[in-house]
Amino acid sequence: MSNIQEMEKMLMFSLCLTTILTLVLLRKFLKRTAIKVNRPPSPWRLPLIGNLHQLSLHPHRSLRSLSLQYGPLMLLHFGRVPILVVSSGEAAQEVLKTHDHKFANRPRSKAVRGLMDGGRDVVFAPYGEYWRQMKSVCILNLLTNKMVSSFETVREEEVNAMIRKLEKASSTSSSENLSELFITLPSDVTSRVALGRKHSEDETARDLKKRVRQIMELLGEFPIGEYVPLLAWLDRVRGFNGKIKEVSQGFSDLMDKVVQEHLEAGNQKADFVDILLSIEKDKNNGFQVERNDIKFMILDMFIGGTSTTSTLLEWTMTELIRKPECLKKLQDEIRSTMMPNTSYIKEKEVENMRYLKAVIKEALRLHPSLPLILPRLLSEDVKVKGYNIAAGTEVIINAWAIQRDTAVWGPDAEEFKPERHLESALDYHGKDLNYIPFGSGRRICPGIGLALGLAEVTVANLVGRFDWKVEAGPNGDDSDLAEAIGIDVCRKFPLIAFPTSVM
């Protein structure tokens, strides 16, 4: 009898244990199911790698194609990492405005860890006091409207230097590589305002331009080891890890030369690097800046002042040459407002050129310098448009897709049409989330004025002083719009054009 009772007790214990375990597992399953119901739509994904196989060499295009099928708020999985993809202004409103403080952080990718020491610059620094202090240093000493205006003479001298090259090409009916000129011009301007002198003809400048291009390409990659640790060996095999080390070391050595030049020259005329060095020496300002931090700050200035500006100039001239009626309209505006007996169009004249500003806006709409706004990292759970988004989710905002949304921009959204901006109140500061070429919210690009000041006066002089033509490519117009790879999307092929002086 006692054995039977013991067996009954064991059976009851087993049943109770089984019931408890079932309830625990069922609770977890129901909880997962409930959360899944409230998650944004997701495409089917492969085991281990998730949706990585659905990315193309141009992620802004492949992500837009997926969003047209799954919606403007879409949840992907790159290996183990959840990725929220935002492809409409309405959805971006909640991310960049309503919950901006929760989305203000940055993920620490392999490229950022290797190239930026995990984010010791302004662009990739984690959201917090260090980032606020560094951003303040940049704005106060380089990017305020007053500071930008003070660099007008530098811009004029460098634009005129470019114009002289084009005049020479015109006199011999030669073509000119505008893509190369558009890299050199902002690089020289940035060198003078940030480093105190330009390095256009020396090895430092050539190395700096090369390193910036390499860094932009590396930052634009989605290395598989970042998302699937088991496959991290693939990044070593294909040379990604080695390229990061090589580029990082090359950039560091280059910056050591620049900093050493400033230390040896003394404070003859304080520039941005001198200011950073003085902050480093001052131990009583409550803000600690290390020597490596200075290097990354300089890199930020070159990325913002060189790469994005050259991309804007390149696409603006590409679209104008492809659209002769727009080019003619802009030429009429510029030439009718030019001061008599002058060969240089000054920034004061540019201020009143409405069609020029519309052209720049339209170029930025179709070809934002960063098609995918730099990724953000959600710091705490949040609900976006009724969906539950978990902390730790990385967020990609597809500005390229948002600015080509036919629901907002009309059926001609893919066309270059500056006229759409003539009566528009849109500006560059991200107030309207349907137009965010420089981002929006806390982490909006702080160098908008610096980039636009140079771009507008450059385009005015290029279009006002020259007529332009290009030879037809083997693939017709398609090659004109072919895109390179990288976090910033410039032309795949250089823009080669024939200038004809009208002065």
Residue 15 pLDDT greater than 50, yes or no? no
Residue 34 pLDDT greater than 60, yes or no? no
Confidence tier at 204 by pLDDT (50, 70, 90): low
The one-letter amino acid code at 365 reads R
Mean of pLDDT over the chain: 87
| Average confidence (pLDDT) over 71-78 | 97
Residue 117 pLDDT greater than 90, yes or no? no
SS3 letters for 235-277?
A: HHHCCHHHHHHHHHHHHHHHHHHHHHHHHHHCCCCCCHHHHHH
CB 357 within 8 A of CB 305: no
Looking at the DSSP bridge assignments, the partners of residue 139 are none
Ramachandran region, residue 80 (left: φ > 0; alpha: ψ -120 to 50; beta: rest):
alpha
Lowest-confidence region among 22-36, 301-315, 484-498: 22-36
**Domains of the chain, start order:** 109-341+443-501 (1.10.630.10)
CB 492 within 8 A of CB 484: yes
Q: What is the pLDDT of residue 158?
A: 95
Residue 170 pLDDT greater than 90, yes or no? yes
Q: What CA–CA distance (Å, rounded) separates 85 from 274?
A: 41
Query: Radius of gyration (Cα) for the chain, nearest Å?
Result: 27
Residue 475 pLDDT greater than 60, yes or no? no
pLDDT in tens, 380-392: 999 999 999 999 9
Within 10 angstroms of residue 4's Cβ, the number of other Cβ atoms is 8
Q: What CA–CA distance (Å, rounded) separates 170 from 158?
A: 19
| Average confidence (pLDDT) over 174-195 | 90
Q: What is the pLDDT of residue 315?
A: 97
The token pair at 213 is 């291009």
Residue 11 pLDDT greater than 50, yes or no? no
Sequence-distant (≥ 6) Cβ neighbours of residue 312 within 8 angstroms: 360, 363, 364, 367, 369, 451, 455
The residue among 84, 138, 115 whose CA lies nearest residue 216 is 115
Q: Give 54's DSSP letter.
A: G
Q: pLDDT: is 44 or 305 the higher one?
A: 44
Confidence tier at 397 by pLDDT (50, 70, 90): very high
Q: What is the pLDDT of residue 52?
A: 95
For the chain, helix (H) and strand (E) counts, in that order, are 21, 9
Confidence tier at 363 by pLDDT (50, 70, 90): very high
Q: What CA–CA distance (Å, rounded) separates 485 from 57?
A: 7
Residue 183 pLDDT greater than 60, yes or no? yes
The DSSP line for 48-71 is TTBTGGG--SSHHHHHHHHHHHH-
Residue 31 pLDDT greater than 60, yes or no? no
pLDDT in tens, 457-466: 999 999 999 9
| Average confidence (pLDDT) over 201-228 | 80
Lowest-confidence region among 64-78, 351-365, 420-434: 420-434
Q: Is the pTM of this model over 0.85?
A: yes
CB 447 within 8 A of CB 304: yes
Residue 202 pLDDT greater than 70, yes or no? no
Residue percentage of the chain with pLDDT more than 70: 87
